[in-house]
Amino acid sequence: MVHVAIVGSGIAGLFTALQLADAGHTVTIITKKRTKDSSTNWAQGGIAAILDTTNHDGIASHIKDTITAGDGRCDEDVVRMVVEQAHLRIKDLVSYGVDFQKESDGRYSTAREGGHSEHRILHSKDATGKEIERALIKKSESHQRIKILANTLAIDLIRKDYSNPEHGVVGLWCYDQISKKIQTIRCDVAILATGGVGVLWEKTTNPDVATGDGIGMAHRFGAQIKDMAFVQFHPTASTLKEHRPFLVTEALRGHGAVLLDSAGLDAWMKDCKDSSEEKPSPELYSFTLEYSSMGSLATRDVLARAIDTVLKRTGDDCVYLITSHLNAEELDDQFPTMSKHLREFGLKLGVDPIPVSPAAHYMVGGIKVNEYGQSYLRGTQQFIPSLYAIGEVACTGMHGANRLASNSLLEAVVYAYNAAQHIIEHHRTSYEGEIPDWRADGLEQLKEHAPLRNDLKSLQHAMFNEVGIVRTNQRLYRAERRVELLEKEIDLIWESSIPTRELIELRNLVLVGKLVIQDAIDQKENCGLHYNTDFVG
């Protein structure tokens, strides 16, 4: 029996915990807030999966769509492995109590989203992530071998030999947000399942826990970080004044919703008013057709750039998602989460145009791992013993340069299963040696730091404006200079201050921002989510 520490309580962390605990291992889940405060809980769309293993065309189509979206950067072996495991992992989720929506004949209901050539998205209305979290949390909280530490923020991984990361992980230093004390947590295996880093940008669809903690910890430990230039901006986040962006699920466009700019909306509404016959399709008026034959169902990178271009040209704050040509009652039934959210702002699905614009959504890059979630030592092809990464924090090769919608939950659960099985088969002994306390030699001399809110805002503003959807070399180098200055300041504060959540997160955000900028500068061509106008023409 070994003890496993899992940092993060989304689908990846919880699923792995249950697999390990059922096999007889003990697990501690470390989560920054409550277990349900994860990006999984915010996932509206669903999980892409072909359940019929005899449907070879469907499996081949899912693989092709994934590789096409990834713009030539996907690892085809990884894509095939994940897609072909889908039916098994869906069965596992159902066995844990996840309730996917079904049709009247008992078959699972499937939706279509941008970049998908057919309907293959399993869902629970428009709150699939919330349903998955509900079931996995319920199972985890009742499991005798799983201990959950809520309101606990991991700071750093502890090495067996502090001068040599090749010797692996023996524990973590964590910040207890209730007691304000540092905890030293011993473990034989550490799994990073900390999610993404959307908070690095001014506008994001992510929860406030998405601050890149896993990538920061792994990089400081010596792990290899890969493909950080590829940051997915979701094209349709609600743009409602004085309120944070709210994800408008891709499934709404799969259901028939159409993107129009202000000129297209005016023209369509005028022609609808003047027409005595059947109203014209709004898709005919969509600016998206200038960028892709798939129109409003193009992949996220294409649509985000298209919207960004339109907004810069017109000076508008948003474009509009049109649903008034669709059945309002059916929309309310299929998308209750979105319907409720819009009603709070006096808008109604099937009636009112929804103002939307892009917001930071998903980190395609991350900690480089193999098919079992094992992390690599930086600059080598050697694995770091006892350090795994799964979910959004990991770079598996599945997504290439751009993630296909609803592939993330599938990738997370497949890699969670693979990591758990690898640990069960290969880790059998516990580490009994001494591990150091955090800063034991100077903890009492630390002082309180000044507020850091302005530093965070400065970082977010620089990243959104200089390292956003469309980039230039000049903007990237400008962002690099700004972040380097901020990094030096935060390092000085870190060395002399009592840790707080604010400081721990900002330390990680600055480091991850630097990694994103460096990788963006190193790119020599446009690919997927990285688009530099200096490479155009």
Cα dihedral 89, 199, 151, 145, rounded to 10, equals 20
Band of pLDDT at residue 435, cut at 50, 70 and 90: confident
pLDDT greater than 80 at residue 38? no
Please give the backbone phi and psi of residue 493, each rounded to the nearest 5 degrees, phi first: -65, -45
Average pLDDT over residues 114-124: 89
Distance CA 58, CA 114 (A): 17
Instruction: Using the predicted structure, report yes or no on whether residue 42 has a pLDDT greater than 70.
Output: no
Q: What are phi and psi of 489, to 5 degrees?
A: -65, -45
Q: Running DSSP on this structure, what letter comes out for residue 510?
A: H
Where does the pLDDT of residue 237 fall: very low under 50, low under 70, confident under 90, or very high at 90 and above? Answer: very high
Q: What is the pLDDT of residue 427?
A: 84
Provide the whole-model pTM. 0.92
What is the predicted pLDDT for the residue at 35? 56
Name the pLDDT band for 159 (thresholds 50, 70, 90): confident
Rounded alpha-carbon distances, angstroms, from residue 51 to 64, 241, 328, 408, 421: 17, 42, 31, 17, 22
Q: For the segment 458-469, what is each residue's pLDDT rounded down to a tens digit?
A: 999 999 999 999
Kindly give, in sequence order, each residue whose CB lies less than 8 Å from that of residue 126, ignoring residues fewer than 6 positions away: 44, 45, 249, 251, 252, 334, 335, 336, 337, 338
Confidence of residue 164 (pLDDT cuts 50, 70, 90): low
Residue-wise pLDDT for 321-340, tens only, equals: 999 999 999 999 888 888 98
What's phi and psi for 43, nearest 5 deg?
-75, 115
- Please give the Cα distance from 223 to 216 (Å, whole number): 10
Q: Looking at 68-82, 109-123, 471-485, which range is the least confident one?
A: 109-123
Which tokens sit at 500?
């707080």
Q: Could you give the residue ranges of the DSSP H alpha helices within 23-74? A: 39-42, 56-69
Q: Is the pLDDT of residue 36 over 80?
A: no
Yes or no: say if 366 and 359 are a contact pair by the CB < 8 Å rule: no
pLDDT at 442 over 60: no
User: Measured between alpha carbons, how far is 216 from 403 in angstroms, rounded to an integer?
Assistant: 22
Residue 40 has pLDDT above 80, yes or no: no
Domains and CATH numbers, the chain: 3-230+364-426 (3.50.50.60), 238-359 (3.90.700.10), 442-531 (1.20.58.100)
Average pLDDT over residues 288-311: 93
Residues with catalytic function: 300
Q: What are 209's strand-pairing partners?
A: none
Whether 441 shows a pLDDT value over 70: the answer reads: no
Split at pLDDT 50, 70, 90, the class of 436 is confident
pLDDT computed for residue 446 by the predictor:
73
Mean pLDDT of the chain: 91
pLDDT at 174: 96
Give the pLDDT confidence score for residue 432 in this predicted structure: 74
pLDDT of amino acid 299: 86
Report whether 264 contacts 285 (CB < 8 A). Answer: yes
